[in-house]
Structures are given as structure tokens and as C-alpha cells.
Amino acid sequence: MIEDTAQSDAVASEETITRSEQETFEVGRRMGERLRGGAVFLLSGDLGAGKTVFAKGLAAGLGLDPADVTSPSFTLINVYEGRLRLYHIDLYRLDQGACMDLGLEEILEEGAAVTVIEWAERLAFAPENGVRVSIEYLPDEGRRITLNR
């Protein structure tokens, strides 16, 4: 069962507790359905926390087959064409300084696209329109997904 514990403060923050991979996927899917372009999701969390599952959910919300969405750990950037173009970027294998050579600035400026960046803490800069998404393990086998706009 997904628990929404939305918090309203100066930095619009939202917290959701999920108890399964499917629930984490659904959080992403619901967000993807509402997107109109220009969104940037900056994902952070431990290995296996659910970053790629969240990205697959976003893709499904954009009309893409989530089975086609894979972690771009080795390719670094995957591009998918759905209702909106989706850039799925994984910075796990890069040092912070190496990110500058990927052309991310151009990708982030594409107003009609959605960008998901896994391991976003390795970015040397913070995109203005970025939504920080932290996914963390909970002691009882759940996940806490925290969004900061």
C-alpha cells in the first residue's frame, strides 16, 4: 500500500512510502502521466533502492513500454520516444568532473522532453528545473521516496 505523507513548506516537498517494487513503479507512472515536458528528475539512492524502477514508471506514464527501459549504466544515456521524449541518464560510472563532457546542458534545455538522471549527486551543477528524488531503504523492507522541488 502506498502511503502519501505530503509535506508543505518553503521547498515543496513530498514523501511517499512504498512497500513493493510495483508501488515504486506506480509512483513514477502517476507522475509521468501528468508531465507536459521540461521536467528533470534528479534521482539518488543506494544501489538497488529503486531508481530504475521509478524511471520505468515515469516511462510508462509517458506511454512507453517499461520493459524497453533499461538502466543506462554502460551506455550512460538512453533516449526513448513516447508522448514526450525521455532521456534516461545514469552517472554511476562517472566521476563528477566527467559529466561535463556528456552534453547534458543541451539535453536539459530541451523544453519538450523529460530527463531522468540516476546518481544525480555526481552532477557538477544543479539544473534549475530539477526535482530531487531520494529513494531510501526503510528498516521494514519498504522505501521512502522524497521529492523536493
- pLDDT tens-digit profile of 129-140? 889 999 999 988
Q: Domains in the chain, start-ordered, CATH in brackets?
A: 3-148 (3.40.50.300)
Give me the chain's average pLDDT, please: 85
- pLDDT tens-digit profile of 83-122? 999 999 988 876 655 555 566 777 877 778 999 999 988 8
Predicted pLDDT at 7: 43
What letter would DSSP give residue 66?
A: G
Task: Give the integer Cα–Cα distance in Å for 66 and 83.
Answer: 13
Task: Give the integer Cα–Cα distance in Å for 135 and 146.
Answer: 7
